Amino acid sequence: MDSYHDDFSSDDFTTDWPEGFLDQEHLEYLNGTELYFEQFGPPDAPALVYLHGGPGYNSYSFRSLMGDDLTQYRMVYLDQRGAGRSSPLEGDLSVDTLVDDLEAVRDFLGLESFTPLGHGFGAVIALEYARRFPSRVPRVVAVNPWLHLPELALTLLREAASISGKAFSDPQDELPEAVEGEYPRVGNARVERAFSLLGARDLLNALEFPEIRGRLRLEFADVESQLLGGGEVQESLVSQGFWEFEYPPYLLEQTRPVFVIAGTQDRTSYPAQVDWLLDLAGADVQELEAGHYPWVDAPEEFGVALERVMEG
């Protein structure tokens, strides 16, 4: 039986659909926590599970801005553990836990297979799920992925120095060498320096949005959602070395086809992060003139790119 969240209902979105069309919300106790997710679309259509980034963001804006153009799929919009409308985070968080949560959702919904659609850091969850459960996944779709966090941190630092007009220096050269298996947190040091040169939000806005109207569209959806938070998720991951995390070695174990939809104007992901998937996973890459959120900047083109992936 569906259990409905107090503050959100499917009335927030279009509901005039054919008989049998799924338009359901769930707040279910799965894998030791309450997870919020929605499923929307024909029950016999190919299933897609959207995995937001952040980390600690939510799925609301993606459905709000893109959902009505994806009605040919059985879409599942998941607010990951500790994020959005799911219960607040308790304890530490790991990629393995997020993957286990995804498997619990799949089992609850009775999906024999589905395509994980991961955005930003959500691409790591999508790829790792496919690595661990290859029989459940026909393909993986990564949208502007974040896979190598120390490299991303260096990108942020270079861009912060360039935008602010301040001198660039990599703190890697200043940190002590590893002692007894403890390695210096290079990525974290880079990010801290980047955000000292330019505030985090100003920097990410400059790198992720090619035009201000795209940023305003996303911000309006965020205000509409009334969803705040996600800080606990970020704090938990950062405390465990988030900015030192390197996923690329695991790509060598990937057996499922990988497809990338890349916004070429996203200076956090393109081209360096995308290239890892191209080089190590043989990914098929479709490039769009868009930023970090291509469904915001180029929704029609994003829909066509996703359709090509699903048909391929």
Within the chain, all domains assigned CATH 3.40.50.1820 are found at 10-148+229-311
pLDDT of the residue at 1: 36
DSSP states along 272-303 = HHHHHHHHHS--EEEEES--S-HHHH-HHHHH
CB half-sphere exposure, 165, CA atoms < 13 A: 0
Residue 153, both tokens: 């941190």
Adjacent-strand bridge partners of 226 = none
pLDDT of the residue at 4: 35
pLDDT of the residue at 230: 81
Adjacent-strand bridge partners of 35 = 28
Q: Is 294 left (phi over 0), alpha (psi -120 to 50) or beta?
A: alpha
pLDDT of the residue at 16: 66
Q: CA-to-CA distance for 275 and 281, rounded, in angstroms?
A: 10
Query: What CATH code is assigned to 10-148+229-311?
Result: 3.40.50.1820
CB 114 within 8 A of CB 106: yes
Q: How confident is the model at residue 181 (pLDDT cuts 50, 70, 90)?
A: low
pLDDT tens-place string over residues 244-262:
999 999 999 999 999 999 9
Q: What is the 3-state composition of the chain as percent helix, strand, coil, each rounded to the nearest 5?
A: 45, 15, 40
pLDDT tens-place string over residues 128-150:
999 999 999 999 999 999 999 99
Question: Residue 8 above 50 pLDDT?
Answer: no
pLDDT of the residue at 199: 97
Question: What pTM, to 2 d.p., does this model score?
Answer: 0.93
Tell me 30's DSSP state. E
pLDDT tens-place string over residues 16-49:
667 788 999 999 999 999 999 999 999 999 999 9
pLDDT of the residue at 59: 98
* 33: number of Cβ within 10 Å: 18
Residue 251, both tokens: 């790509």
